[in-house]
């Protein structure tokens, strides 16, 4: 398998580590859409070569949000999306799949789902997906969605819905805290 990883990067096994990194960077620069695959190649070569330099570069790239094709595919599957169809599925569909799963999973599973959503947001360079993964309300649209309201709702009704949401959320937290 390593031979095909070298070939995918445009490298050969007897290249120095620095040259393998150069080949990786050139592939990503010329074919950014396939960066997750090239990163996966680099990850596996770093492990196979037992190269501290390559492993350090892989760690640095991962800390910057670069993900492997393997991890990207797992993130799509987390939401019931076939990775082969990812290029024809819009951000709204992914966010909808995420929201649909939230009602059926525990809090710890929800955090994992948010992590998977962040992977997709970074890979797709989608601020909309990243915002959903952050679980923060930064726009009117996000607040309206959280309150389950129509944009034209009366101001006093917005206040009422907010009060009810907060009240029932605290009630649910208390109930969970009392369970053994």
Reduce the secondary structure of 16-73 to three states and give it as a string: CHHHHHHHHHHHHHHCHHHHHHHHHHHHHHHHHHCCHHHHHHHHHHHHCCCCCHHHHH
Q: Give pLDDT, residue 177.
A: 57
Q: Give pLDDT, residue 151.
A: 77
| Inter-axis angle of helices 17-30 and 35-49, nearest 10 | 170
Distance CA 46, CA 24 (A): 12
Give residue 170's pLDDT band: very low, low, confident or very high (50, 70, 90).
low
Give residue 7's pLDDT band: very low, low, confident or very high (50, 70, 90).
very high
8 Å CB contact between 54 and 9: no
Distance CA 70, CA 77 (A): 11
Q: Give pLDDT, residue 174.
A: 61
Q: Which two tokens stand for residue 151?
A: 């944009």
Q: Give pLDDT, residue 144.
A: 75
| Residue 115: how many other CB atoms lie within 10 Å | 12
Q: Please state, rounded to an integer, the average pLDDT across all residues of the chain.
A: 86
Distance of CA 125 to the CA centre of its chain: 10
Q: Give pLDDT, residue 45.
A: 96
Higher per-residue confidence, 141 vs 46 = 46
Least confident window among 51-60, 98-107, 121-130, 146-155: 146-155
| Residue 38: how many other CB atoms lie within 10 Å | 24
Distance CA 123, CA 35 (A): 9
pTM recorded for the entire structure: 0.67
128-154 mean pLDDT: 76
pLDDT digit string, tens, across residues 31-64: 988 999 999 999 999 999 999 999 999 999 998 8
How do the domains of the chain map onto residue ranges? 2-66, 71-136, 142-180
């Amino acid at each position: 398998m390593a031979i095909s990883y070298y070939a995918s990067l445009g490298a050969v096994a007897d290249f120095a580590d620095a040259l393998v990194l150069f080949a990786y960077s050139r592939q990503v620069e010329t074919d950014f859409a396939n960066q997750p695959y090239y990163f996966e190649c680099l990850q596996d070569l770093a492990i196979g070569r037992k190269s501290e330099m390559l492993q350090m570069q892989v760690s640095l790239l991962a800390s910057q949000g670069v993900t492997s094709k393997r991890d990207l595919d797992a993130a799509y599957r987390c939401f019931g999306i076939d990775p082969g169809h990812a290029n024809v599925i819009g951000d709204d569909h992914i966010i909808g799949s995420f929201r649909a799963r939230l009602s059926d999973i525990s809090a710890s599973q929800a955090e994992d789902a948010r992590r998977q959503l962040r992977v997709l947001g970074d890979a797709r360079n989608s601020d909309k997906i990243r915002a959903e993964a952050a679980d923060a309300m930064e726009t009117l649209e996000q607040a309206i969605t959280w309150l389950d309201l129509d944009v034209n709702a009366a101001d006093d009704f917005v206040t009422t819905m907010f009060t009810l949401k907060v009240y029932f959320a605290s009630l649910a937290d208390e109930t969970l805290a009392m369970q053994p």
